[in-house]
Structure 1
Amino acid sequence: MVPQGHRILEGAITGTRRLKAGCRYVVTTDVRVRAGATLVVEDGTTILIQNGPVASSEIRHAALIFEQGSSLRAGRLYIRACTAKFRPVKRADNGGVWFFGAYRSAEKDGLSVTAAPATRASSFTAALIAAYYLGHPDPTGETQDPLEDDRDGFSLMGVGPQEWDVAEARSFHSGDDGIDLTNSQIKLQRLRVVAPAGDGLNLSSSTLQVARSLQVDVTLTSVFDRDIFDLETDDGPSYVEIAQHCHVDICGVFGDQLVLTSPDMPAPSNADGHSYRFKDFLRKSPALVFSLNDD
C-alpha cells in the first residue's frame, strides 16, 4: 500500500510530467525520462529511490535516469534512498541518479551514450539537486558483471556545458563516489560532497568548473583508495577548475598522480594516505587540479 502523500513513479516518462512539492514521489525500478520528454519539478520536491535489488530493472536496482535528449526543469530537488515501505533510510543500496547528454560519447557501468549534439541535446536546469544515500557499494562476492559493480550516487555521462544549468549539487553518503563525470564538461556555482563510500569527485576525461563554493569531506577511514579527487584520463585529460574568490573546504587524501596549480592552496604530499586539509577563499588566483595522462 502506498502511504498517503506518496506517488509511485514508474516506467518511461514521455511528454511533460510535473511533480508537485506537496507529494513524495517513489522510484521502485529504473525510471527513465525519455528523449523529448520534460520532467518539471516544483521547488522543494522530494523523490525517493527504493533500496534493494530489483529484478525488473535493467541495471538491477531502482534508479532515476535522464536519457539523452531529455529535460529537467526544477527548483530545489531532493533525492533520497528509502525502504520498501517508502521510509527514508540512511543506507545506500540503489541505482542512483543519472544524466545522459549528447556532448560526447561515454560509457560506464554497462550504460552508454553516443554523441549527437546537433540532434539530441539534453537540457538540465535546477537551482539545487541534493542526493542522499544514493548508489550502492561493491557486492560481497566476486563478479565480472559491470551491472553488479559498485555504483556512484550522482552520475553524468557525455553532458556538455550547453546542456547543464544546475547551480548547486550536493551528494551525501553515496554508495561509491560522491559525483562522477564521464566525458562531460559542466559548471556549478556550488558543490558539496560529504562522506562518500568512495572518492569525492571522480572525473573521467571531464572538466568540472566550480565558481563560488567547493566542499568535499572525505575524512580518512579504514577504506583504502578513497580520495578527494580521482581524475581519470581514458579518453583525454581531466580538470577541476576552481574560480578565484571561491570558498574551498576540502579534507581527505588529495589523490594520486595529480597536479595542483594554486598560490593559495598548499601542495599535497606525495606520501600514500597523507591527509590533506584546506579551508579558505582563493584570494590570489583560480586553482586548477588536473591529470593529463595518469590516474
Structure 2
Amino acid sequence: MSTNYEILSSDITRNRRLSAKKVYVVNAEVRVRKNVRLVIEDGVTILIQNGYYPKSQLKRSALIFDQGSMLRGQRFYIKACNEKYRQVKNADNGGVWFLGNFCKASKDTVSVKINRKIPPSSFKAEMISMHYLGRRDPERETSRTLAVNDDIDGISILGVGPDEWNISEIRSHYSGDDGFDVTNSHIKLDRIKVVTPTEDGLNLSSSRVEVRRSLILEVTKTKYTDRDIFDFETDDGASYLEIAQHCHVDIRGVFGDELVLSSKDLPKPKRNGDAPYQFKGVTRKAAALIYSINLD
C-alpha cells in the first residue's frame, strides 16, 4: 500500500489539522504563524527533508512555531528524509523550533523579542519523538553548503515561558548537534530522553528546565570530541536543571565543565573534566539541582 504524502512547503497561516492517515513532508522553512492553531493527531509522522535550501534563514528546511502560535498534539514523530521522502539516518536539516513571548532570545540567525501585541505562544502535546534532526558541522564547508556559523540543534526553544509550554515528553534521537537546546526560557516537562546526539545532550543558555518523572541522557563516547551530557551557558543569566524527587534518572557520558551538582542521590562528578560519568537510579532522598551561575 503506497504512502499518502502531503507536502508542506509554505507557512501555515490558518488553523489546520494534520491527519494520522497521511505522512507530511516539510521541504522548506515552514512557520506556524501567530494566532494559528496546528492540531496534530495521535501517531502522525512529519518528515523534514535534508539538504541545502537557500530561501531559509537556516539554509535548511525546518519547522518553526512562531511567537503566538499554538500546537495541540498527542503523540507524534518528526524525522529526517531525503528528496524521495524516504526516512534516512542522517541529520542535515533545520530541525524544530519553538519561539515564545516570555523573554528575548537569539540563536543561529533566529531571534525573538517580547511583544505585548502578540499573544503568548501555547504548545501542548503528550509526546514528540524526533529522529536525525538538525545539522552537523560539515567536514568541508563551501559556498553551496554554507548555512549558519555553527551546526543546528535537533530541537530549539527560544524565549518560552512556563505558561506557554505544556509538552509532557520530549525524545531526541541522533541529533545533528545538541539533542535538546533551551535559550532564555523556563519550561517544565515530565520526561526528557536524548539518545546519542552529535554533541551535547542538554544545552541550557540562561534557562531553567524542570523535569518531574524521567531524565534519560545517553551521551556515551563517539568519535566526536567536546561532547558532554550537560552544557550550560550564562550569557544572560544563570542556567538551572531541576530534577524532582522520585524522578528516574539515567545519564551516561562526560558530565560537563563548570557545573555545580547539588544532590543527595547523584554522585559528584570527578574533577577531571573528561572522566566518564554514569548514574542510573531514582532521586529518592530529595530533588537534585544542576546549575551554573556565571561560568560557561
Instruction: Quote the RMSD (CA, aligned, Å).
Output: 1.5
SS of the aligned residue for 2:148 comes to helix
Q: Deviations over 1:31-50 (max 9, x none)?
A: 00001111100011010000
Q: Deviations over 1:155-178 (max 9, x none)?
A: 000000000000000000000000
Distance in 2 separating the partners of 1:151 and 1:271: 28
Residue in 2 that maps onto 1:132:
131
| CA-CA distance at 1:121 after TM superposition | 0.8
SS of the aligned residue for 1:13 comes to coil
Distance in 1 separating the partners of 2:8 and 2:36: 15
Q: Say whether residues 1:254 and 2:232 are aligned partners.
A: no
| CA-CA distance at 1:140 after TM superposition | 2.5
- Which amino acid is 1:124 matched to? F
Match runs of 1:166-177 below 5 Å: 166-177=167-178
Residue in 1 that maps onto 2:72:
73
Q: Deviations over 1:166-217 (max 9, x none)?
A: 0000000000000000001000100000000010000000001000000000
| CA-CA distance at 1:147 after TM superposition | 1.9
SS of the aligned residue for 2:237 comes to coil
Residue in 2 that maps onto 1:105:
104
Q: Deviations over 1:71-117 (max 9, x none)?
A: 00000120000011001111100000000000000000011000135
Residue in 1 that maps onto 2:279:
278
Residue in 2 that maps onto 1:89:
88
Residues 9 and 26, structure 1, Cα contact 8 Å, conserved in 2:
yes
Residues 7 and 24, structure 2, Cα contact 8 Å, conserved in 1:
yes
Match runs of 1:153-192 below 5 Å: 153-192=154-193
SS of the aligned residue for 1:270 comes to coil
Tell me: CA distance 1:169–1:286, structure 2 relative to 1, closer, same or farther (3 Å). Answer: same
Instruction: Say which is worse superposed, 199-208 or 51-60, in terms of deviation.
Output: 51-60
Tell me: CA distance 1:82–1:14, structure 2 relative to 1, closer, same or farther (3 Å). Answer: same
SS of the aligned residue for 1:209 comes to strand
Distance in 1 separating the partners of 2:292 and 2:149: 28
Residues 178 and 200, structure 1, Cα contact 8 Å, conserved in 2:
yes
SS of the aligned residue for 2:74 comes to strand
| CA-CA distance at 1:28 after TM superposition | 0.3
Distance in 2 separating the partners of 1:4 and 1:192: 29
Percent sequence identity over aligned pairs? 55
Distance in 1 separating the partners of 2:58 and 2:262: 39
Residue in 2 that maps onto 1:115:
114
Tell me: CA distance 1:230–1:8, structure 2 relative to 1, closer, same or farther (3 Å). Answer: same
- Which amino acid is 1:219 matched to? T
Segments of 5+ residues of structure 2 without an aligned counterpart are none
Residue in 2 that maps onto 1:225:
226
Residue in 2 that maps onto 1:245:
246
Match runs of 1:190-209 below 5 Å: 190-209=191-210
Distance in 2 separating the partners of 1:143 and 1:238: 35
Distance in 2 separating the partners of 1:93 and 1:143: 15
SS of the aligned residue for 1:169 comes to strand
Residues 139 and 148, structure 1, Cα contact 8 Å, conserved in 2:
no
| CA-CA distance at 1:54 after TM superposition | 1.1
SS of the aligned residue for 1:190 comes to strand
Distance in 1 separating the partners of 2:118 and 2:201: 33
| CA-CA distance at 1:146 after TM superposition | 6.8
- Which amino acid is 2:111 matched to? S
Residue in 1 that maps onto 2:5:
6
Residues 110 and 146, structure 1, Cα contact 8 Å, conserved in 2:
no
- Which amino acid is 1:52 matched to? G
Q: Deviations over 1:121-140 (max 9, x none)?
A: 10000000111000011122
Residue in 2 that maps onto 1:264:
265
Segments of 5+ residues of structure 1 without an aligned counterpart are none
Distance in 2 separating the partners of 1:28 and 1:119: 27
Residues 177 and 200, structure 1, Cα contact 8 Å, conserved in 2:
yes
Residues 210 and 244, structure 2, Cα contact 8 Å, conserved in 1:
yes
